[in-house]
Amino acid sequence: MMETISDKNSIRLRHLRKRDKLKLSDRESMSRDIFAHLNSIDEYKNADAYLFYVDYRSEVITTPVIKEMLKQKKTVYCPKVEGLDIVFYRISSFDELKSGYQEILEPEDIALNRFVPGVHDGKTVVIVPGSVFDSEGNRLGYGKGFYDRFFAKHPNLTKIAVGFDLQIYDGTLPGNKNDIKMDMIVTERQVIRING
């Protein structure tokens, strides 16, 4: 039986409610574990450029990692919502992020800093947020399709979703032809590699 949009929404809401119930101290600890796993993954360690979301509400916390990457002079991009799309812009300081779409921190001074695929020779990693994931690489975001549209335009980037173990769906998530599968899903307990 095909699942409907309302099924998708109920799955999303159920998992987001569970995520929202996590204490901040637990999210901080689990986020550190997630990035410890990431640091053991070759595709992440050897990337030339990193496209990070800036954490919002109860998401996996990325802020300390972004700051550390910038301190190490790594090439870091963060997203900005422009109409129906997200566009990534390079930042050199966390202070360049200002409140934007839904009060999420976004790059403010964007002149000449737009992400251009191909410049980093395929060694670009995108750290992807979401509400629910499954072991086949399927992902439910927040219903706007920003990341799916971005990956449709830039299919050769390494897509690594991060989430807490309670966000892993037991089964196959409902989806459609516009949904883009992840290459990996990393939680505090496991690294799920999707065989392309």
Give the domain ranges of the chain.
Answer: 5-193
Q: In Å, how far are 110, 136, 137, 154 from 193, measured between CA atoms?
A: 34, 9, 8, 20
- Please state the pTM of the whole predicted model: 0.92
- Express as a percent the part of the chain with pLDDT over 90: 82
Tell the residue number behind the tokens 């409902």, with chain if given: 174
Q: What is the CA radius of gyration of the chain?
A: 16
**φ/ψ bin of 177: left (φ > 0), alpha (ψ from -120 to 50), beta (otherwise):** alpha
CB 22 within 8 A of CB 164: yes
- Has domain 5-193 been given CATH number 3.30.910.20? no
**Per-residue pLDDT tens over the stretch 121-161:** 569 999 999 999 999 999 999 989 999 999 999 988 999 99
Q: Give the tens place of pLDDT for each residue, 69-120.
A: 999 999 999 999 999 999 999 999 999 999 999 999 999 877 768 887 776 6
Burial of residue 137, with CB atoms counted within 10 A of its CB: 0-12 exposed, 13-18 middle, 19 or more buried: buried
